[in-house]
Amino acid sequence: MRILIIRLSSIGDILLTTPVLSAWKEKYPESTMDVLVMKNFGEVLEGNPSIDNLLFFDKEKTKSFGELIRFAGNLRKNGYDCVFDLHGKLRSRLIVKLLGVKTFTYRKRRFWKTVLVALRLSRYRPDDTIVRNYFGAFRDFGLCYRGEQLRFYFSDQDLTGVASWAGHPAMSRGASKSTKKWPLDYFMELAQLLYERFGKEILILGGREDAQEAALIEKKSGGRCINLAGKLSLKESGALLSRSLFLVCNDSAPFHLARAAGIPTFVFFGPTSPRMFDLNEKDTLLYAGESCSPCSLHGEKACPRGHFHCMRHITPQQVLEAIETKVDTMDTRGRT
């Protein structure tokens, strides 16, 4: 049996498919599994032993409908028995339509709920976690949800390249939308508090798009931070996180990367719902629980009510206390 799994983007959503990939390969080890992602997100799954063939969709070379037809035609030559569309948007739907192979999809939120949230008539309430929904696409094949153990693989070379920064606390302010970001001045204050508490420079991680804000945090800290935003590959970032003391971050890709690395993670949720994920004992939710939150599926450019209480009401001192509690608890367990 040969299958194709499609999840084109982005880093976090692709990482969230890895529990499904592992479960499939364990149940059907003799099958051939191909996974299709956008070319610029290939690093997320490179080296994953569950995948037989990692395929890339280059949107720059597949802009016209004719180019999409040719792309699907080449895929069709692989002779898939079935396809699992875990992307569920226009581009992936067109691809599976052109493939003409039996396709299984996951249950997405009902459209009328999306409309009510967009009109501010209802708060956003997920029907289930993202990973559980992904597993739903495989229910006819007997795959059962067993937890949210994410997988990310890197090389010894990646680890060697970042070894000098091992053992430091890390933070990342990156996020896809402005309202998903804990305030910049709070990150600056927290960096000071963490340095005073742990006596080590704070690593600032993120992509090139986060470099400017990371530089501001570094400058404000007076040399107590090391700005690595935009300077590491995704593999190097994952390798470094696997050796970091912990990560403080927003609801974003670094959050899932840290979870895959298995380190303590302190994550801010404000406009989006933490119920989209099954957090484990190493994950600490930083959530104010405002009456108007969660108000959005993916976050917004600005707070709809203008006050941003869902993030502003989580103070740096509260975050430090949460970190100290977690670190002390883990130290105690390590001694028993």
Q: Contact 186/268 with Cβ under 8 angstroms? A: no
- 12-33 mean pLDDT: 98
Name, in order, each residue with C-beta under 8 angstroms of 127's C-beta and a sequence gap of 6 or more: 107, 109, 110, 133
- Strand-pair partners of 328: none
Question: Distance between CA atoms of 279 and 286, rounded to whole angstroms?
Answer: 12
The reply to whether CATH 3.40.50.2000 applies to domain 164-335 is yes
**Mean pLDDT over the full length of the chain:** 93
What band does 329 get if pLDDT is binned at 50, 70 and 90? confident
pLDDT more than 70, % of the chain:
93
pTM flag (> 0.85): yes
Q: Is the pLDDT of residue 201 over 80?
A: yes
Query: Which class does domain 2-141 fall in?
Result: alpha beta
| Band of residue 327 on the pLDDT scale cut at 50, 70, 90 | confident
- Cβ contact 170:244 at 8 Å: yes
Between CA 18 and CA 151 the distance in angstroms is 6
Tens of pLDDT along 124-168?
A: 676 789 999 999 999 999 999 989 999 999 999 999 999 999 999
pLDDT digits (tens, 9 = 90+) for 202-245: 999 999 999 999 999 999 998 899 999 999 999 999 999 999 99
Amino acid 107: pLDDT: 76
pLDDT score, position 219: 93
Q: Which part of the chain is CATH 3.40.50.2000?
A: 2-141, 164-335
